[in-house]
Amino acid sequence: MLACLVCCGLPATFIACTSEVDDYFDQPASQRLTATMNRARQILRSAEYGWEFGYYPGRDLEYGGMVYTVRFDSLTATVGCSLIPDSTETSLYRLTNDNGPVLTFDSYNALLHYFSTPSSNEYEAKGGEFEFVIDSIADDFITLYGKKTHNTMYLRRLTANPDEYARNTINI
């Protein structure tokens, strides 16, 4: 019995515990977050024709997907929607930190907030979103997910006029 305790206990005495943690990143989290938000801001604004926004409201996707077009400048986003062709509305947006980079459309936009505006009949609205966590960024493609529903949504860089794109979408 003594030999067993010595054999098991002896290796444990040679194992050292350190408070050092391996660094997996070359920068602190706050600097990486700031860099991500700056890159997102630059990429969003750089699209000449704006973005096609694949928007999926509702926790169970009961409304299917909607096609929006969004063009960003330094403060505002001009939004179009396939629900109401040849119509756009401009509102404010911002990039913020909420446990990660978040794109939020924080001033009312009738087109974009259609699925997230509650009424007396729908106190939770239609399960829409106006705050989106940025998951990944590429030059022509941004993956987001809704803060409430966690539905994955996409921004794709447009290569043609957004009005023309919306009309073609409606025709399809």
Q: Where does residue 6 fall: left (phi above 0), alpha (psi -120 to 50 degrees), or beta otherwise? A: alpha
Residue 89, classified by CB atoms within 10 Å of its CB into exposed (0-12), middle (13-18) or buried (19+), is middle
Q: How confident is the model at residue 14 (pLDDT cuts 50, 70, 90)?
A: low
DSSP state of 5: H
Check pLDDT > 80 for residue 119. Answer: no
What's the pLDDT score for residue 27? Answer: 77
| Tens digits of residue pLDDT in 38-96 | 999 999 999 999 999 998 888 888 777 888 999 999 999 999 988 787 789 999 999 99
What's the pLDDT score for residue 98? Answer: 86
Identity (one letter) of the amino acid at 45? Answer: R
- The mean pLDDT value of the chain amounts to 83
Residue entry with tokens 């990944």: 136
Continuous segment of H or E residues that includes residue 46: helix 29-46
d(CA 82, CA 170): 6
32-36, 115-119, 167-171, range with greatest mean pLDDT = 32-36
Q: How confident is the model at residue 134 (pLDDT cuts 50, 70, 90)?
A: very high
92-125 burial: b if 16+ Cβ within 10 Å, else e: ebeeeeeeebbbbbebebebbbbbbeeeeeeeeb
Question: Maximum CA pair distance of the chain?
Answer: 86
What's the pLDDT score for residue 53? Answer: 93
| SS3 assignment, position 163 | helix
- Say what percent of the chain tops pLDDT 90: 41
What's the pLDDT score for residue 141? Answer: 95
What's the pLDDT score for residue 48? Answer: 93
d(CA 81, CA 163): 9
The two tokens of residue 129 are 């979103």
Q: How confident is the model at residue 118 (pLDDT cuts 50, 70, 90)?
A: confident
Check pLDDT > 70 for residue 106. Answer: yes
Check pLDDT > 70 for residue 15. Answer: no
Continuous segment of H or E residues that includes residue 32: helix 29-46
